[in-house]
Structure 1
Amino acid sequence: MNWFFLSLVTATTQAVKDTFLKSAMGRTDPTLAMLLYSSVAAAFLWVFAIGSPEVVFAPAFWPLLLIGGAFGGITFWLYGLALNRGDLSLALPMLAFTPLFLLITSPLTLDEFPRPGGLVGIALVAVGAYVLNLRERRHGIFGPIKALVTNTGTRLMLLVAVVWSIGANLDKLGLQASSPAVWAASIYTASALALIPFAARRLRRSVGELPGFPFAIATAGLLEGIGLFCQMHALPLTQVSYVIAVKRLSIILGVLLGAVVFHEQDLAHRLPGAAVMVVGVFFIAVFG
């Protein structure tokens, strides 16, 4: 199947998933919400893994799973805090920086580097994230950049982008050591287990606050399972940075959903940035 289509499905599910997660954050502890969400995603992915052909595990599988699970736990913890403490339309654009960080991590871990067209596309995706925050130019040309550190949600999501630039490469190595279905289910299980220490401090109190099993969290986990299944099948077909860049189209949808569902402001300042990101994705798909 075409890697671009698979990545586009991932982008769509990511945006809708983030909307459901954001809505759940006001009703429960964000770390517990991420623990439940990743557990549902893992359960969904194991359905695919159990029905997949028999897999031969390379020796590197278990070390990669251990390291990737630790990174996943940290990422989900930061992700939940970022959604809880910031606007969807401000936090999500920070994930556009993941392809830029991949320009450092992918050559070191996978010996991959994009061709010139793909490099231009990745740069445009990052420039689009700057334009999305263009309103901050009233504080100077570096205002949009300064907003990354002054706004808690964007600062935390930028850290997520850094960790994901490493985790995406571990994912590709994990795929080579097993299979897309088994690796996706395994890494989400490991990430959920790694989240338990983060949630343990407030676990009893947080569980008591849950009104049954939240529909929003369960739906988010289901969407994540579908999106990750598509992503894991796209990664072996092309370079990691291309898949992740197309996946970041979820930012455009997230900005729109933030305005429609949560009535977040300044949509007019962020749509031009979204347009730049679309051009970037076009460069990646056509010239990458």
Structure 2
Amino acid sequence: MVWFLLSLAAAFLMATTAAYMKRFFSDVSPWEMAVIPFFYVTPFCIIALCFMEIPKLGSEFFPALSWVLPLTMVAIILHFRAIHMSPLSVTMPFLSFTPIFVILTGRLLLGETLSSSGIIGILLIVTGGYVLNLDSAKDGFSGPIRAIFKEPGSALMLLVAALYGLCSVGGKILIINSSPMFAAMSLFSAYGMLLTTILVGTGKASLRTITSRPALGFGVGLCIFMEIICHNIAISLVAAAYMVAIKRLAGIFSVLYGWLLFHEHGIRYRLIGTLIMTAGAVCIALWA
């Protein structure tokens, strides 16, 4: 049960990071919101690498890193842009679509085929996405479907889920060619430094703004660092599918944060929709 508790902790920390950033950094630009957590997690990752035994690196490690790193950068920037512009309870649950894209990329890159459980999972997630916006049903049967794309954060998070699906394939290659902890610390150390350099260098983010609230910054950095640790220890103890399925519960935690901290409306439908979507993600991850 250790893996389950760690996976649940990773889900909680993922949702907490989103709520933390929306609560304390919603006044900064989306670019700065994307860079702040990873600017402050970088020192934690570098220190961890200093005390870590470097594993033997496989031949595919650096080629995979060369495309996983920029893809992760785009995904995370869009992730924080989505939560910057829209309510947590209607954006974060759409990360439950990630397993669908994992199945699609798995079929494309690994020759995997869909099972009946996978199809059921897809239907559950689509149904959950409909229920999530059921408060738009007054606009007709197609109202909730149109609402997904009218709410910019929701549509953007769908794209993020697709990118995360690709990143998960690349992340698996990195782990196979090193170790779970080394792969994660290396990736996020490089990510934090590269993203900061690019956004500050191009004028998209201000270093003064990024460093203006160091206590709050290190708080979110520690939160992400703990998520990375929980994620990677859990995935080393059990099949990745089980871990990913439990981590999708981040959507439920985000709905609760949206209700309790930000007094977001329509929580009843969003919570029901999130539960259905999570059930679909679990169905895909465990049995597809």
More divergent stretch after superposition (68-77 vs 27-36): 27-36
Using a 3 Å threshold, how does the CA distance of structure 1 residues 249 and 199 change in structure 2: closer, same or farther? Answer: farther
Kindly indicate whether the alpha-carbon contact (under 8 Å) linking 1:86 and 1:153 is maintained by their aligned counterparts in 2: yes
Q: How does 1:1-288 map to 2 (within 5 A)?
A: 3-112=3-112, 116-117=116-117, 120-121=120-121, 123-195=123-195, 196-202=197-203, 206-209=206-209, 212-235=212-235, 237-240=238-241, 242-277=242-277, 279-280=279-280, 283=283
Deviations, residues 15-64 of structure 1 (Å, cap 9, x unaligned):
11110011233232222232221132333234444333330011211111
> Structure 1's 273 and 89: CA in aligned 2 closer, same or farther, altered over 3 A?
same
CA distance in 2, matches of 1:121, 1:5: 23
Q: Is the 8 A contact 1:125 1:276 kept in 2?
A: yes
**Number of matched pairs:** 286
Q: Please tell me the residue identity of whatever aligns with 1:77.
A: I
Q: Report the Cα distance in structure 1 between the residues aligned to 2:282 and 2:77, rounded to whole angstroms.
A: 32
Structure 2: how far apart are the matches of 1:269 and 1:20? 24
Deviation larger for 16-25 or 103-112:
103-112
Moved more, 121-130 or 8-17: 121-130
* Cα distance in 2 between the residues matched to 1:167 and 1:282: 19
Instruction: Return the alpha-carbon distance in structure 1 between the equivalents of residues 53 and 153 of structure 2.
Output: 41
**Letter of the aligned partner of 1:151 in structure 2?**
E
SS for the counterpart of 1:262 is: coil
User: Gaps (5+ residues) in structure 1?
Assistant: none
**CA contact 1:46–1:181 (8 Å) conserved in 2:** no
CA distance in 1, matches of 2:125, 2:49: 33
CA RMSD of aligned residues (A): 2.8
Residues 148 and 198 (structure 1 numbering): CA distance in 2 closer, same or farther, change over 3 Å? farther
Unmatched tracts of structure 2, length 5 or more: none
Instruction: Report the alpha carbon displacement of residue 118 of structure 1 after superposing the two structures with TM.
Output: 6.1
What TM-score results when the alignment is normalised by the length of structure 1?
0.86
- Give the AA of the match of 2:134: L
Quick one: structure 1 residues 51 and 60, their matched pair in 2 at CA, closer, same or farther if it must change by over 3 Å? same
**Amino acid in the other structure paired with 2:231:** Q
Partners of 1:118 and 1:3 lie apart in 2 by 23
- Give the letter aligned to residue 104 of structure 1: L
Q: Is the 8 A contact 1:3 1:238 kept in 2?
A: no
Counterpart-to-counterpart distance in 2, 1:75 and 1:227: 17
Range 154-163 or range 135-144, more displaced = 135-144
